[in-house]
Chains A and B, each alone.
Chain A
Amino acid sequence: MMSSEFFTTWFLPGIWVTIQVTVYAAALGAAIAFGIGLARTSQLWIVRFLAGVYFEIFRGMSALVLMFWMFFALPFFGWQLVPMWAGVSALGLTYGAYGSEIVRGSLAAVAPAQKEAGIALNFTRWQRLRLIELPQAWPEMVPPFNNLLIELLKGTALVSVITVADMTFAGNLLRLGTNETTPVFTLLLVLYFVLAFLITRGMRLVERRAKAGVGQRPQKTGGITSRLSSRGESLQAGSQSAGGM
């Protein structure tokens, strides 16, 4: 079995590196998602066009190849990136492109009548975006952002091939050193799952708060009391309609 010393010198720091890469790439990706997503709704065709070009290019690009390119090819142009930043940039740029589609789509899904109400109150376009459209689009963005964030988390394993010592990197080292392939990769699977699970939990919380912020009641999932009470209500409604007949 793996030694506890190996675990603390490689695996624990590896988990931390995976978390860091995820957080930094998510921050970069979110900035790009909103920047490009908003630019794609611009009234100026040139802004829309350039943002659309960014989206098409980075959506069609392999994050892994981009990472290689940033790590191995960029130095030829006199730009040597620390491996972790090459990884973070490549992930942030590609996942940001996907995210921009979420932002654009959610904004487009805001009821046109809301925009009209904003015009009738003489808001500027930016005021409408800031006060009406973005706050209403935000709860719709959270679930797809959750999916994307989990994709990103799993995508961070790619950084191990450019020598960033994340948990996949640590797992590979351990496998080479001990030949304990099955337990090592099982542990890795479980770790990614646990991190993804934590992300989902966190995003649920974000979603609930976002929905409360637009006056929607948060969906109650599970919880025996809520099930009992909704059952009670439907029973009551049933008896009422039965009585009315």
Chain B
Amino acid sequence: MSADTPLQNDHDGNENPPVDGSELIRFDKVTKRFGSNVVLDELDFSVASGKHVTLIGPSGSGKTTILRLLMTLLKADEGTIKVNGDYLTHEEKNGKLVPAGEKHVREVRKNIGMVFQQFNLFPNMKVLRNITEAPVTVLGLSKDEADQRARELLDMVGLGDKADAYPTQLSGGQQQRVAIARALAMRPQVLLLDEVTSALDPELVAGVLDVLRDIAHTTDITMLCVTHEMNFARDISDQVLMFDSGRVLESGTPEKIFGDPEHDRTREFLSAVL
């Protein structure tokens, strides 16, 4: 396969290329509180490289919080997060763990991409530049190279003709597909997806899910997604984690969780959303 296909993950720059099945993300006793509200309580969990993991659970169970901690949009109160074996927001100094500087955080964070519920495209940039700006500015790609890649990604999400539009001129579904292309342009190892279709009109959901299915089936990118689209979760997931009150209540294959869950809590939750 050519290294330039838009869908392929490019890990060539990594000193420790992850072996398939190796651990990409590890939460170790992560606690997150908002005031007196303990959202995550010494949470342990890990995601293997290349896997598609779906987080489900009732509203307020901390799913978004997990993704935002990984994206460094929130800071954990206790515990550590590792990505590829490196601490995300900590550094080891003289055998002690200390909060890491901006440089270290950016180095580890470059492996992570995120797509938001509300798209969050940059309204001051046209679609093409939304996708090319970070590869040029952050990764140092040449403008031509970034442009070409962005156009390939736009074709992939079915918006090859929208390169010169402003985000406000697109429908929600189109904006979300651009946001997916924008995240992929950074060639992250793991893509975080937080209810990426729940802000969309019902008729626009399918188009976005099709793009994500396509990515899930044709790339080796790791996916960590929160969704209420259970059919989609069943299609793409290798593993489903059921959250409740900031803990993993149970986990397993989609067949297991959706077909024969162990906990009544899971059964209740599924019967409410299915």
Give the chain B neighbours of A122 by CB distance below 8 A: 106, 109-110, 134, 138, 186
Q: A56 contacts the other chain (Cβ, under 8 Å)?
A: no
The listed residue with most B CB atoms (<10 A of its CB), out of A111, A122, A136, A215, is A122
Interface stretch of the complex, out of B80-88, B114-122, B154-162, B215-223: B114-122
Given contacts A131-B133, A131-B137, contact A124 B106 (CB under 8 A): yes
Interface residues of B in 107-134 (CB under 8 A from A): 109-110, 112-114, 116, 118, 120-124, 126, 133-134
- Within A106-139, which residues are at the interface with B (CB < 8 Å)? 111, 113-114, 116-117, 119-125, 127, 131-132, 135-136
Please tell me if A216 contacts chain B, counting CB pairs below 8 Å: yes
Tell me whether A120 and B123 are in contact (CB under 8 A).
Answer: no
Question: Is B183 in contact with chain A by the CB < 8 A criterion?
Answer: yes
Which of B72, B106, B122, B126 is close to A114, meaning CB atoms less than 8 Å apart?
Answer: B122
B168 contacts A by Cβ under 8 Å = yes
Q: Is A218 close to B, CB under 8 A?
A: no
Closest to A117 in B: B120
Whether B138 contacts A215 by the Cβ 8 Å rule is: no
Given contacts A121-B138, A123-B134, contact A116 B120 (CB under 8 A): yes
Q: Which of A116, A123, A136 contacts B138 (CB 8 A)?
A: A123
Is A214 an interface position by the 8 A CB rule? yes
Interchain CB contact under 8 A, B102 and A120: no
A215 near B73 (CB under 8 angstroms)?
no
Is the C-beta of A213 less than 8 angstroms from some C-beta in chain B? yes
Q: Which one of A114, A121, A124, A215 contacts B102 once the chains associate, using CB atoms below 8 Å?
A: A124
Chain B 130-156 interface 0/1 with A at a Cβ cutoff of 8 Å (1 = within): 000110011000000000000000000
- The one of A124, A127, A214 that contacts B124, using a Cβ cutoff of 8 Å: A214
Interface residues on B, range: 20 to 34
Given known pairs A120-B71, A215-B167, the reply for A113 and B116 (CB within 8 Å) is yes
On whether the beta carbons of B120 and A114 are closer than 8 Å, the reply is yes
Give residues 62-98 of B contacting A (CB, 8 Å). 71-73
Which of B134, B169, B186 sits near A215, CB closer than 8 Å? Answer: B169
Q: Mark B150-189, 1 if CB is under 8 A from A, else 0.
A: 0000000000000000111100000000000011001000
Name B116's contact: one of A117, A131, A215 (CB within 8 Å).
A117
Q: How far is the CB of A105 from chain B (nearest CB, A)?
A: 18
Whether the Cβ atoms of B71 and A119 lie closer than 8 Å is yes
Measured between beta carbons, the chain A residues less than 8 angstroms from B123 are 136, 214-216
Please tell me the size bucket of the interface on A: 20 to 34
CB contacts (< 8 Å) of B71 on chain A: these are 116, 119-120
When the two chains form the complex, which single residue of B114, B118, B166 contacts A120, counting CB atoms closer than 8 Å?
B114
Cα distance A117–B71 in the bound complex, in angstroms: 10
B183–A215 CB distance below 8 A: no
B179's nearest neighbour on chain A, judged by CB, is A117
Partner of B134, one of A111, A113, A121, A136: A121
Smallest beta-carbon distance A133→chain B, Å: 10
CB distance from A206 to the nearest CB of B (A): 15
Chain A residues whose C-beta falls within 8 Å of the C-beta of B137 in the assembled complex: 123, 127, 131
Residue of B whose beta carbon sits closest to that of A121: B134
Q: With A127-B138, A215-B168 known to touch, is A120 a contact of B124 (CB < 8 Å)?
A: no
| Complex CA–CA separation, A215 to B168 (angstroms) | 6
From B117, which residue of chain A is reached at the shortest CB distance? A113
Distance A113 CA – B194 CA, assembled complex (angstroms): 13
Q: In the complex, what residue of chain B is closest to A138 when comparing beta carbons? A: B124
Q: CB-nearest residue of chain A relative to B108? A: A122
Residue of B nearest to A125 (CB): B102
Looking at the complex, which one of B118, B167, B169, B182 makes contact with A121 (CB distance below 8 Å)?
A: B182
B44 CB to nearest chain A CB (Å): 25
Residues of A within 8 A of B121 (CB): 117
Shortest beta-carbon distance, A160 to chain B, in Å?
42
What 8 pairs between A and B have smallest CB-CB spacing? A215-B166, A121-B134, A117-B120, A120-B114, A135-B124, A214-B124, A215-B168, A113-B120
What are 12 pairs between A and B in contact, CB < 8 Å?
A: A113-B118, A116-B73, A117-B122, A119-B72, A120-B73, A121-B113, A121-B138, A131-B122, A132-B122, A135-B124, A215-B123, A215-B124
**Residues in chain B within 8 A of chain A (CB atoms):** 71-73, 102, 106, 109-110, 112-114, 116, 118, 120-124, 126, 133-134, 137-138, 166-169, 182-183, 186
14 more CB-based (< 8 A) A-B contacts, given A120-B113, A215-B166: A116-B73, A119-B73, A120-B114, A120-B116, A121-B113, A121-B133, A121-B182, A121-B183, A123-B134, A123-B137, A123-B138, A213-B124, A214-B123, A215-B126
